[in-house]
A and B are shown apart, each in its own frame.
Chain A
């Protein structure tokens, strides 16, 4: 039953993706700047023939509707075209960058959830205590602090001054393990290459903290306020009246309910984490989609921009679906 609904939702994503494809195709061509010009750069003596040859190679000489037709026809077959600048299939380029972004997004979400929920719960249980006030003040700081600035601070303190953690890239040189999923944390485990795993984890820590800090702050606040609401409910009193220990009352009876809003926010934010980390990826030289997006926009690499945007849209759809499925497990009143 549930799997049929999930399949339905995936099928419903197809028209959305086609819509996204058309929109991004048009917007990319509406923005000023010509890819061929940029590619020639300041080479100086470029002949008209050379320019024409390039335009032909990229189909840029054809009328717009023909270009769109070619593009959509390829998209349906799972072909996003070749990158203008890298002369390589866009799918291959994205295939290398996407796992990096996913790994970072999950690292950030993991960091945020790991701390936000205990902080939120504790603050609610000890409402108005010093701990509560302090953590809420810090969460306010976390929300208002720009992520790139925080990232730079982390780099300076933990990378440069203390030298505890690596500050750029996903891995040091010299490691070699087969790429199965592209997610280093999984691939290293599959290869049982523990030093590489440790190295990948260390690389993940600072960017995850930088990217996840705002989410941590938001989730802590959401968890606190929904927990405060839930703790006032009759079913919590009933749990106590049954003779349960306070810890069980809070973690089992109250938290399960309080997490519903937290998961909603997390679901929305996961999309943001996947799509909004261009700055963090740039700061930490993280070879992910964000950096790819920035580079492709600067070079007007149309196929690459289109591919990146479509992948963003797709991951967003998937993230939402995952959250909705998760939702049905945590809130029995909701079905897909």
Chain B
């Protein structure tokens, strides 16, 4: 359904070209859940915004295709993209506290997508299109109920600041679901929330995937969440995808030294003797990236070859791909 090919984009900043997305290939089939994991600042959010054609200023797409239902989104007109946004592809943003507009009521914000995409445009009658408004409101209340907002009839009239963070995130999910999208882009939908709410939201997303059959791209920096929830996982590092495969492949048999490092740095409850091992070093500055492997300075298994040229994607079998010479 969605196939991103060789996508590259960069921000033209004073420090130079910040390559936030670098030759990314990704595909999501209908009803599939794709996880993107990676450290903060590796380009996960920007990748999602690219799909919607909403790269923030001063970002520019350098190359690539974003095929959605057989058509390249990068070639679409503004009007065509507006019709896709919020309807065929919806996004749930990272930080619920700042993503709802503080001056509009929750219900109005949920209704808005339905109205602009004409979900109930056939409903006629009443003064000032009141029949259509009622239909929209009924659906909004239904959605709020579905995402687990208690007493939705009254909550419909609340302002965002009257909601807790978890409720705000649910409202955002309701907005995302309002037009029954075929693809849902979820940008760390649980990061801002505490653990119990996190589990509820994830369960909700799972339900959406199963009942609505929506494809989902779930961005997270939590490998545990990705493992539990996704069919496929892509590991991102400094704007590049360094490993991709089915969840079992990546989790049980991680190939890239970065993925291995990520997995070792997760605290485990079960075995006390396993120490947490953080990956040494820090995330590189995207403005200073060259063609070589960006993980080189932090990699225990690095050798000279890694610096010589751009590392290609190698096939490790059964669709499991790795950007590392160890598997070349």
Q: Footprint of B on A, CB under 8 Å?
A: 233-235, 237-245, 253, 256-257, 330-333
Contacts of A241 in B (CB 8 A): 52, 54, 85-86, 90-91, 93
Nearest residue in B to A253 (C-beta to C-beta)?
B101
Nearest residue in B to A237 (C-beta to C-beta)?
B54
Classify the secondary structure of A's interface with B. helix
**Which of B82, B101, B103, B161 contacts A243, CB < 8 Å?**
B82
**Which of B56, B86, B94 contacts A242, CB < 8 Å?**
B86
Q: Contact: B91 with A332, CB < 8 Å?
A: no
Known: A253-B101, A332-B102. A243 touches B93 (CB 8 A): no
Q: Contact: A244 with B54, CB < 8 Å?
A: no
Q: Contact: B85 with A238, CB < 8 Å?
A: no
Q: How far is the CB of A252 from chain B (nearest CB, A)?
A: 9
Nearest residue in B to A333 (C-beta to C-beta)?
B161
At the interface, yes or no: B283 with Cβ under 8 Å from chain A? no
CA–CA, A239 to B85, complex, Å? Answer: 10
Q: Which of B90, B101, B113 has the most CB of A within 10 A?
A: B101
Q: Contact: A235 with B83, CB < 8 Å?
A: no
CA–CA, A320 to B241, complex, Å? Answer: 57
Q: Contact: B103 with A330, CB < 8 Å?
A: yes
Task: Categorize the interface residue count of chain B.
Answer: 20 to 34
At the interface, yes or no: B313 with Cβ under 8 Å from chain A? no
At the interface, yes or no: B95 with Cβ under 8 Å from chain A? yes
Would you give the 0/1 interface string for B49-90, flagging 1 where the beta carbon is closer than 8 Å to chain A?
A: 100101010000000000000000000000000111111001
Q: Contact: B112 with A242, CB < 8 Å?
A: yes
Q: Contact: A243 with B54, CB < 8 Å?
A: no
Known: A243-B85, A243-B87, A243-B116. A332 touches B95 (CB 8 A): no
Show 5 residue pairs from A and B whose CB-CB distance is below 8 angstroms, ordered by the A residue.
A237-B54, A238-B172, A256-B103, A332-B102, A333-B159
CA–CA, A234 to B87, complex, Å? Answer: 19
At the interface, yes or no: B100 with Cβ under 8 Å from chain A? yes
Q: Footprint of A on B, CB under 8 Å?
A: 49, 52, 54, 56, 82-87, 90-91, 93-95, 98-104, 112-113, 116-117, 159, 161, 172, 175
Additional pairs, 13, CB under 8 Å, beyond known A234-B94, A257-B101: A234-B99, A237-B93, A238-B91, A241-B54, A242-B175, A243-B85, A243-B116, A245-B82, A253-B104, A256-B104, A330-B103, A332-B159, A333-B161
Known: A234-B93, A238-B93, A257-B101. A244 touches B82 (CB 8 A): yes
Known: A241-B85, A332-B103. A233 touches B161 (CB 8 A): no
Q: Contact: B84 with A243, CB < 8 Å?
A: yes
Q: How far is the CB of B104 from chain A (nearest CB, A)?
A: 8
Q: How far is the CB of A130 from chain B (nearest CB, A)?
A: 18
Q: Contact: B101 with A238, CB < 8 Å?
A: yes
Q: Contact: A235 with B101, CB < 8 Å?
A: yes
CA–CA, A148 to B113, complex, Å? Answer: 51
Contacts of A330 in B (CB 8 A): 103
Q: How far is the CB of B78 from chain A (nearest CB, A)?
A: 8
**Which of A235, A240, A257 contacts B85, CB < 8 Å?**
A240
Q: How far is the CB of B184 from chain A (nearest CB, A)?
A: 12
Closest 8 CB pairs of A and B: A243-B86, A243-B85, A242-B86, A235-B101, A332-B159, A234-B99, A234-B98, A243-B82
Nearest residue in A to B158 (C-beta to C-beta)?
A332
Contacts of A242 in B (CB 8 A): 85-86, 112-113, 116, 175
Contacts of B83 in A (CB 8 A): 243
